[in-house]
């Protein structure tokens, strides 16, 4: 008897992918505005995303409640502690590229696990054929 | 054991990997389980359609659509397998000399 | 969350914008010593004015998150006066012997050009990283 149900595992992996995708989108937006005067770099707000996830609690296994973050997706906030340039822009190109690479890796890992999980389930359903 | 993890509810038709047949559940809960299984095919199908059109319209994410498609596919496969097992069991019974 | 497609649009918008910045910087550099333009006056350096813009204004209005791209709001002439150089022998020298120079600082233009080129490159990388992600997502059912 497994401690984590299959449904919870799928939901958790899906959530990981959603967050990773959101990190990529946010970083891409930052990079697109690397030269925009006054633009403040943003990032995914993990604290609020986690809160939303926990708040939806037991319902995460129910497909109708998958969007724990709501239609808008994971919450974002301004990145703190960045040095602003003369025009007020705080985007650091290297930092964003690194974040995108990391998020890509996290997404890939979750996807690999999820694909393997689906394969196992299919295998079980088809009696090992 | 949750055999249809895809809809997050426990079914009474356990399927073990490598085994050749489903254990026979009590007839009391059986009709209900089957009905729920068939309903879940409808549900996951609808969710998949929604997820895909959401993705195509630019609102939903690709991975959400792919996951929904997988769940619909696996739910359907499961239901087909259960039906096959039922037919098999029925045929075995019918072959028994009265 | 905004789909990965909108992120690619955002990066694509940056490619146009940064390329324009490079072109303008190059043009400024090329005219750093143009003391007499078509209007008879010294060349005035140009500046690209950028503004953030949500990729999908429709979803933005609905309150749904969408990626933020960039657009060129304007290309303006920098009104800052340029230096004056004392060179009476210069054909464009005024009656006091001073030549009005363009308000171009070559080293600043180089910095702008390099930062624009770097941003361009980074957005190109971003597009390929996002594409990789979408590719992985499509492989969820594989196997």
Q: What is the ipTM of this complex?
A: 0.88
Contact B58 C59 (CB under 8 A): yes
Window from A2-6, B19-23, C24-28, C115-119 with minimum mean pLDDT: B19-23
C56 to chain A, closest Cα gap in Å: 12
Gap between the Cα atoms of B78 and B80, Å rounded: 5
Q: What is the pLDDT of residue C41?
A: 86
Bridge partners, C46 (sequence order): C77
Contact C7 A73 (CB under 8 A): no
**In A, what residues contact B, Cβ < 8 A?**
1, 5-10, 14, 17-18, 21, 61-63, 66, 71, 107, 111, 114, 118, 121-128
pTM of the full structure: 0.81
Gap between the Cα atoms of C143 and C141, Å rounded: 7
Contact A127 B44 (CB under 8 A): no
C49-75 b/e with 16+ CB inside 10 Å = b? Answer: ebebbbbbeebbeeebbbbbbbebeee
**In B, what residues contact C, Cβ < 8 A?**
55, 58-63, 66-67, 69-70, 73
Chain A contact present for C18, CB below 8 A: yes
Evaluate whether B40 touches B7 at the Cβ level (below 8 Å): yes
C98 phi and psi, to 5 degrees?
-95, 140
Q: Is the pLDDT of residue C124 over 50?
A: yes
CB nearest C68 (choices: A32, A37, A69): A32
Taking one residue from A and the other from C, the number of pairs with CB-CB distance under 8 angstroms is 124
Chain B residue with the nearest C-alpha to that of C4: B61
Alpha helices, DSSP H only, in chain A? 6-32, 46-56, 93-125
Q: Is the pLDDT of residue A81 over 90?
A: yes
pLDDT tens for residues C38-83? 888 889 999 999 999 998 777 666 666 679 999 999 999 999 998 8
Q: At which residue do the structure tokens 């990388």 appear?
A: C125
Nearest to B4 by CA among B88, B64, B76: B76
By residue count, chain A amounts to 129
Q: Is the pLDDT of residue C115 over 90?
A: yes
Evaluate whether B24 touches B13 at the Cβ level (below 8 Å): no
As a whole number, mean pLDDT of residues B50-58 equals 89
Gap between the Cα atoms of A44 and A2, Å rounded: 32
Bridge partners, C72 (sequence order): C50
| Gap between the terminal Cα atoms of chain B | 35
Q: What is the pLDDT of residue B23?
A: 47
Domain residue ranges of chain A, discontinuous segments joined by + = 6-125
Contact B60 C3 (CB under 8 A): yes
Pairing of strands A76-78, A42-44: antiparallel
Contact B5 A66 (CB under 8 A): no
In eight-state DSSP terms, residue A60 is G
Gap between the Cα atoms of A18 and B51, Å rounded: 14
How open is the CA angle C42-C47-C49, to the nearest 5 degrees?
Answer: 155
Nearest to A43 by CA among A85, A102, A86: A102
B8 to chain A, closest Cα gap in Å: 5
| Residue B50 banded pLDDT, cuts 50, 70, 90 | very high
pLDDT tens for residues A40-77? 999 999 888 878 777 765 444 444 444 444 556 788 89
Contact A35 C13 (CB under 8 A): no
- DSSP letters, B26-60, are PHHHHHHHHHHHHHHHHHHHHHHHHHHHHHHTTSS
Suggest the residue from A18, A29, A39, A123 to mutate for an interface test with chain C (most C CBs closer than 10 A).
A29
The residue among A128 and A21 whose pLDDT is bigger is A21
As a whole number, mean pLDDT of residues B81-87 equals 88
CA Rg, chain B, in Å? 16
């Amino acid at each position: 008897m497994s401690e984590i149900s299959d449904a919870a595992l799928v939901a958790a992996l899906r959530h990981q992918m959603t967050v990773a995708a959101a990190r990529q989108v946010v970083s891409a937006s930052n990079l697109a505005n690397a030269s925009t005067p006054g633009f403040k770099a943003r990032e995914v707000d993990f604290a609020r995303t986690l809160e939303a996830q926990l708040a939806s609690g037991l319902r995460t296994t129910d497909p109708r409640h998958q969007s724990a973050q709501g239609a808008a997706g994971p919450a974002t906030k301004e990145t703190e502690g960045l040095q602003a340039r003369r025009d007020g822009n705080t985007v650091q190109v290297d930092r964003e590229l690194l974040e995108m690479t990391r998020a890509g890796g996290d997404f890939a890992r979750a996807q690999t696990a999820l694909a393997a999980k689906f394969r196992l389930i299919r295998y079980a359903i088809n009696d090992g054929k | 054991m949750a055999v249809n993890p895809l809809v997050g509810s426990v079914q009474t038709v356990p399927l073990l990997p490598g085994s050749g047949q489903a254990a026979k559940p009590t007839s009391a809960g059986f009709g209900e389980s089957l009905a729920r299984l068939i309903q879940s095919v409808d549900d996951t199908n609808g969710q998949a359609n929604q997820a895909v059109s959401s993705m195509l319209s630019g609102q939903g994410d690709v991975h959400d659509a792919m996951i929904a498609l997988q769940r619909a596919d696996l739910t359907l496969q499961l239901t087909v397998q259960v039906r096959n097992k039922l037919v098999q069991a029925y045929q075995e019974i019918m072959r028994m000399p009265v | 969350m905004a789909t990965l497609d909108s992120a690619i649009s955002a990066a694509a918008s940056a490619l146009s914008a940064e390329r324009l910045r490079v072109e303008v910087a190059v043009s400024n550099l090329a005219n750093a010593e143009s003391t007499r333009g078509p209007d008879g006056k010294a060349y005035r350096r140009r500046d690209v004015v950028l503004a953030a813009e949500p990729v999908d204004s429709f979803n933005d209005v609905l309150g749904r998150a969408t990626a933020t791209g960039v657009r060129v709001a304007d290309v303006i002439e920098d009104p800052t006066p340029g230096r004056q150089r004392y060179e009476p022998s210069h054909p464009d020298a005024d009656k006091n012997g001073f030549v009005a120079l363009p308000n171009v600082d070559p080293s600043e233009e180089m910095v702008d050009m390099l930062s624009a080129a770097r941003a361009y490159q980074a957005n190109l990388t971003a597009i390929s990283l996002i594409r990789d992600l979408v590719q992985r997502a499509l492989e969820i059912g594989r196997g």
